[in-house]
A and B are shown apart, each in its own frame.
Chain A
Amino acid sequence: MEINLEEAFQKRIDDEIKIEPRDWMPEKYRKTLLRQISQHAHSEIVGMLPEGNWITRAPNLRRKVALLAKVQDEAGHGLYLYSAAETLGMSRDEMLNELHTGKAKYSSIFNYPTLTWADMGAIGWLVDGAAIMNQVPLCRASYGPYARAMVRVCKEESFHQRQGYEIMLTLCQGTPEQKAMAQDALNRWWWPSMMMFGPNDDNSPNSAQSTKWKIKRFSNDELRQKFVDVSVPQAEILGITIPDPDLKWNEARGHYDFGVINWDEFNQVVAGNGPCNKQRLKARVDAWEKGAWVREAAVAYAEKREKRNSNKENSNAA
């Protein structure tokens, strides 16, 4: 029986029929998605922190409203994704608890500090650029609620990347100090952005199953290559240099070759030893704990109002 269900399920996937929340699905499919979508949601929420750092110090009002809108979008993206994850049977509070206790991960990129205003440019350009690369294929993921959430996310991300690139462009056309600041931001964000695509294909054990289930449409290395290929000409327009001495066009492959990623660093940051892991998690836990009274007060108010309304109805009936 179980076997037949699984075969029928795989056939639906192969036929590009989306899976919806109440449809039968293998337990492992549910778990894989739940982990991926909740971690994606956590990344959006934690991802607000490095940029939130610069909202009050944006150089002018135009930059400030744009950054504020971008950070607000990220909150929205987190909420779309938490909703999608909840359809798989885990409550919002359970997910948040997993984040706060360190059981659930989020994208390691957000464990790096934002030291200068140019980091807002580099993050929009590179981090959101890499995110778009990862996310566009997810709009066709086999799980309906995830795919629909990703369509909304992707529509909004393009503004994020353009606002980041514009910040970089402005700095690169400014004083030598401003251009140096942009170069410094590129130096610090390039490799962490490259790591956003995850381990190399031969070191990514879950990829095959996710590909078979059409959660994943391209491999980590394919997406990383695509990211390099589009980023190089973008850096050229800016007139700054990608910090990779091995980066060069390979005529035969039709792609840029690039250097080896420092996987030690990647593993260290994933393990919790990045520059800001503790700070990021503490900010989230503090927000949750310090907001508890607001959540409680809202519930108390809703209950009081409901009571008052039903009393009114009763007295009207009498």
Chain B
Amino acid sequence: MSNKEWPLWEVFIRAKQGLNHKHVGSLHAADVQMAIENARDVYTRRMEGVSIWVVESKHLHANEPSEQDELFDPANDKIYRHPTFYILPEELNHM
């Protein structure tokens, strides 16, 4: 008897046209077709989605949480990237 566990898949659902796919959780399935069908049964029993993406979890790469600070630090002091940084006359109204 083989004891091979089915691979893990991450599931992303588009709730409705116009929105992006959003991660909702994961599940086990033997192949991609089963992953999509299981995702339908597990994550969209109440019309939560119109489109499903699945990707095998081993193909997902992420930054190290321990390096979070140095990774995101560079954005902290660049307030000139925000519109409010620029001082403009009142009479300009909406820009």
Contact = CB atoms under 8 A, between A and B. Distances in A.
Give the interface SS of chain B, mostly helix, strand, loop or mixed.
loop
Given A76-B42, A149-B25, A292 B31 contact: no
Interface in A288-307: 292, 295-296, 298-299, 301-302, 305-306
Give the interface SS of chain A, mostly helix, strand, loop or mixed.
helix
A276 B5 CA distance: 30
A72 interface: yes
For this complex, into which size category does the number of interface residues on chain B fall? 20 to 34
Contacts of B26: 83, 86
Contacts, number: 54
A80 B30 CA distance: 18
Given A73-B45, A83-B25, A301-B31, A295 B6 contact: yes
For this complex, into which size category does the number of interface residues on chain A fall? 20 to 34
B1 A302 contact: no
B89 interface: no
A299 B27 contact: no
A20 interface: yes
A264 interface: no
B41 to A, nearest CB: 7
A296 B62 CA distance: 31
A22 B86 CA distance: 39
Interface of B: 1-6, 8, 25-28, 30-31, 34, 41-42, 45-46, 62, 64-66
24 contacts: A22-B62, A22-B64, A24-B66, A72-B41, A76-B41, A76-B42, A79-B27, A79-B42, A80-B25, A80-B42, A83-B26, A92-B28, A93-B3, A149-B25, A156-B45, A296-B1, A296-B2, A298-B31, A299-B2, A299-B30, A301-B30, A301-B31, A302-B31, A302-B34
